[in-house]
């Protein structure tokens, strides 16, 4: 969503005093179609009625603003990233050289699907990126595999 689109929504919804509860399932379905990034923008945009619903949708996806409180290796990350790091589908590298990377695609506690690439550095700190689609995550994973292959070749 562009800032202009958010401005239009903010202006359109500012004059509404009540939303018919029968419309909520329709609005929820529309929100489900938004990317994680657009949902985050809408949740933060302070659009009357829509922003709280977008925040709820982020919560249902496990992307809510409840990061793990540090100190610790997961400080600032979501529980979805922690789960993906501890349960990778595939992994490459190691923390001492290139860095350790893992990918995860699936449901977490009945929510999702999630498509995540996590990394751990040589000090043990973990970070992750949550992708909107498995295709997008796999494309980034292939890029990492190519970079790792080049790293291994240069180390020989």
Q: What is the per-residue pLDDT for 49?
A: 82
Q: What is the per-residue pLDDT for 68?
A: 45
Taking only the tens of pLDDT, the chain with its 156 residues reads 899 999 999 999 888 888 788 888 888 888 888 888 888 888 888 888 888 888 778 766 766 544 445 555 665 567 788 888 899 999 999 888 888 999 999 988 777 788 999 988 888 888 888 888 899 999 999 999 999 898 888 877
Q: What is the per-residue pLDDT for 65?
A: 45
* Spatial distance between the Cα atoms of 143 and 138, rounded to a whole number of angstroms: 9
* Spatial distance between the Cα atoms of 43 and 9, rounded to a whole number of angstroms: 12
What's CA 101's distance to the chain center, in Å? 16
* Spatial distance between the Cα atoms of 62 and 56, rounded to a whole number of angstroms: 10
In angstroms, what CA-CA distances link 21 with 18, 24, 137?
Answer: 9, 5, 36
Name which of 97, 134, 128 is nearest 113 in CA terms. 134
Phi/psi of residue 90, each to 5°? -150, 155
Q: What is the per-residue pLDDT for 75?
A: 59
Q: What is the per-residue pLDDT for 138?
A: 94
* Spatial distance between the Cα atoms of 48 and 37, rounded to a whole number of angstroms: 19
| H-only helix segments in 18-133 | 24-32, 36-44, 50-60, 79-86
* Spatial distance between the Cα atoms of 19 and 49, rounded to a whole number of angstroms: 8
This prediction has a pTM of 0.57
* Spatial distance between the Cα atoms of 83 and 112, rounded to a whole number of angstroms: 12
Task: Provide the 3-class DSSP secondary structure of residue 98.
Answer: coil
């Amino acid at each position: 969503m562009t800032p202009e689109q958010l401005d239009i929504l903010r202006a359109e919804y500012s004059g509404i005093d009540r939303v018919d509860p029968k419309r909520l399932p329709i609005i929820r379905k529309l929100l489900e179609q938004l990317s994680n990034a657009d949902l985050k923008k809408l949740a933060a945009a302070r659009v009357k009625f829509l922003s709280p619903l977008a925040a709820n949708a982020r919560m249902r996806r496990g992307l809510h603003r409840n990061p793990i409180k540090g100190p610790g290796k997961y400080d600032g990350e979501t529980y979805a990233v922690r789960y993906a790091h501890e349960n990778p589908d595939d992994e490459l590298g190691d923390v001492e050289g290139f860095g350790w990377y893992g990918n995860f695609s699936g449901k977490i506690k009945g929510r999702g699907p999630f498509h995540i690439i996590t990394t751990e550095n040589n000090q043990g700190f973990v970070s992750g990126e949550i992708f909107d689609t498995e295709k997008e995550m796999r494309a980034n994973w292939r890029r990492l595999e190519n970079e790792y292959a080049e790293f291994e070749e240069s180390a020989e």
